[in-house]
Amino acid sequence: MKIVFFSSDNSVSSGAFLCLAELSASILQSGQDDALVILPQDGNGTELLDYYEVPHKQIKSFTWCVKKNERHAIHSSFGLLSRRKKDVNTCDIKSKDESVTVLFMLKNLVKRCINLFSVFRTVLLLLHEKPDVIHINTIYNYTGALAGFACRIPVVWHLREYLGPDQGMKIWDEKQGYSLISRADRIVTVSRSVADYYRSFMPKGNFTVVYDGISNDAFYKPNKRIFQNPTIVLTMVGALYRNKGQFDLVDAVNLLRKETIFNCLRIQIIGEGESREELQEYINEKGLQESFELTGYQKDVEKWLEETDIFCMCSWCEAFGRVTVEAMLSGCLVIGAGSGGTLELIRDMDTGVLFEVKNPVSLAEKIHYALEHKDEMRKLAENGRVYAKRTFSMEGETSDILKIYKELIRRRALNGKPE
């Protein structure tokens, strides 16, 4: 069995790319199946694929997703933008909340033309490679799917993100986009929450939930015990954006200033993003610069988690939460926002602690409770470590995905084409 994966990026800082690399490597390690990864651009992700000895090729393409405030419509997948309002003097298309320039339109037109050529090149590659299944790794790229449909190869489309609520993005033409995705022979989502979200756009889609598997080698720390030192290390990992909840954590810690536990807290926020400067200013404004450290992107997150007592997942709408599972495997006490995929990873007061999403008061209360009940929290952290190792294994995900592949191939053999 041969699988061709299509990645939407080429970066080791991307959780989706890490999942693709580990899944393709796991499939190759089975010794019975072949895998090839198609990359849309240059990047440092190739180093990871080389490390895993995963074959890869590059066919340049662009995403079909744009920021929600860049509102525009497309007459067809590669058509021209339709204009809402035009200012004759400036040639700008303007509305109350947006200004889309002609230059922006031309750039997107060029990208769609390149994508059209990418589909053609991909069809040629598929005819040469003769894969059994096409696997699209995220919602962000569609060219591999178009080529797969053209070659009548079963398509698995992996949805790993809330496009709008979490990432503030939308497909160029949502109607045509979701119509295309719904044609996939199987739509795999990383959580039930993500599946429920996309069913509202694609009621006829063939959905299956498969939780991401995490390699235990780097993160699993069976002998770690939290709260062994006077200083309590609290860590948050993720892109720095408003909806990831870092500002909520700052507000929560600020609420704890009058508590005796405040002086023992050391908070490290790992990641990069467009809100970094604003976040640092907010921390300074609250007078918390001695308590917080913005570390930037860190390649060796497992080392930071190893010294962490409490891990906070504050995202308002996390699709799955790979880093949440990594923190659980590392033996941290995980305090997570009660929304999205986080609700499926944490059983409140059993494998972790949940707080009310977007509510710094609730988060502060949970942190305070945890530090006042350390023995109880150590037990929760241990439960979380055992649960994560059992539930989110790479072997389990690989097995589930391979079953889907084999089912689609069997149906193709029986019916002459994928259902």
CATH at 135: 3.40.50.2000
Report yes or no on 362 lying in a domain.
yes
- Same structural domain, 317 and 405: no
Mean pLDDT is lowest, of 72-76, 233-237, 257-261, 310-314, for 72-76
pLDDT, position 102: 67
pLDDT at 334 over 60: yes
> What is the separation of C-alpha 54 from the centre of its chain, rounded to a whole number of angstroms?
21
Rounded to an integer, what distance in angstroms lies between the CA atom of residue 49 and that of residue 45? 6
Pairing of strands 265-270, 232-237: parallel
| Residue 214: both structure tokens together | 């995490």
Where is average pLDDT lowest: 79-83, 218-222, 310-314, 330-334? 79-83
Task: Flag whether 275 is in a domain.
Answer: yes
Q: Tell me: do 291 and 386 sit in the same domain.
A: yes
In a domain, 89, yes or no: no
| Assigned domain for 82 exists | no
Neighbours of 44 (CB within 10 A): 12
DSSP 268: E
Residue 353 is predicted with a pLDDT of 98
- The pLDDT score that the predictor gives to residue 108 is 82
Cα gap 409→155, rounded to integer Å: 10
Longest Cα separation, the chain: 70
Do 163 and 123 share a structural domain? yes
The reply to whether 192 and 229 lie within a common domain is: no
Task: Tell me the average pLDDT across 196-213.
Answer: 96
In a domain, 40, yes or no: yes
The pLDDT of residue 320 is: 96
pLDDT of residue 107: 84
Are 167 and 288 members of one domain? Answer: no
Please state, in angstroms and rounded to a whole number, the distance separating the CA atoms of residues 327 and 309: 10
Task: Taking residues 223-241, report their average pLDDT.
Answer: 96
Note down the domain range covering 250. Answer: 216-391
pLDDT, position 82: 45
State the pairing for strand pair 186-189/310-313: unpaired
Same domain flag for 156 and 228: no
User: Does 41 lie in the same domain as 171?
Assistant: yes
- For residue 207, the model assigns a pLDDT of 98
> Percentage of the chain surpassing pLDDT 70?
91
pLDDT tens by residue, 397-419: 999 999 999 999 999 888 765 54
User: Does the structure show a pLDDT above 90 at 87?
Assistant: no
Q: How confident is the model at residue 91 (pLDDT cuts 50, 70, 90)?
A: very low
Distance CA 136, CA 2 (A): 14
Looking at the fold, whether 271 and 141 belong to one and the same domain comes out as no
- Span 19-73, pLDDT tens digits: 999 999 999 998 878 999 999 999 999 999 999 999 999 999 999 998 876 654 4
81/305: higher pLDDT: 305
Residue 260 pLDDT grade (very low, low, confident, very high; cuts 50, 70, 90): confident
Residue 96 lies in a domain: no
Beta pairing partners, 235: 268, 311
263 three-class SS:
helix
How many separate domains does the chain show?
2
Tell me which range, 123-127, 255-259, 408-412, is most confidently predicted by mean pLDDT.
123-127
292 located within any domain: yes
Put residue 294 in one of left, alpha, beta given phi > 0 → left and psi -120 to 50 → alpha.
beta
- Decide: 137 and 22 in contact? Cβ < 8 Å: no
The residues, ordered by sequence, that sit 6+ positions from 258 with a Cβ below 8 Å of its Cβ are none
Q: Residue 76: pLDDT above 70? A: no
Length of the chain: 419
Q: Which pLDDT score is estimated for 67?
A: 85
Mean pLDDT, to the nearest integer, of 222-247? 96
pLDDT for the residue numbered 79: 43
Question: For residue 330, is it left (φ>0), alpha (ψ between -120 and 50) or beta?
Answer: alpha
186/202 same-domain check: yes
* CA 229 centroid distance within chain: 33
Distance CA 143, CA 7 (A): 10
Sign of CA dihedral 128, 132, 137, 142: positive
Q: Give the contacts of 277 (CB within 8 A, at least 6 positions apart).
A: none
Residue 297 and residue 332 in one domain: yes
Identify the bridge partners of residue 393 per DSSP, sorted by sequence position. Answer: 214
Residue 80 belongs to a domain: no
pTM, two decimal places = 0.89
Q: What is the dihedral of CA 382, 269, 167, 57, to 10 degrees?
A: -80
Statement: residue 304 has pLDDT above 80: yes
What pLDDT was estimated at residue 416?
66
Contact 93, 101 (CB under 8 A): yes
DSSP 393: B
- Of 340, 330, 337, 341, the closest CA to residue 388 belongs to 330
Residue 339 clears pLDDT 50, i.e. is over it: yes
**Same-domain status, 273 and 373:** yes
372 has a pLDDT exceeding 80: yes
Residues 401 and 258 in one domain: no
pLDDT tops 50 at residue 147: yes
Residue 167: the pLDDT is 83
Is the predicted pLDDT of residue 75 greater than 70, yes or no?
no
Please give the mean pLDDT across all residues of the chain. 91
- 78 confidence band (pLDDT: 50, 70, 90): very low
Nearest to 140 by CA among 110, 115, 105, 104: 115
CA atoms within 13 A on the CB side of 228: 9
**94 compared with 141, residue with greater pLDDT:** 141
d(CA 81, CA 99) in angstroms, rounded, equals 14
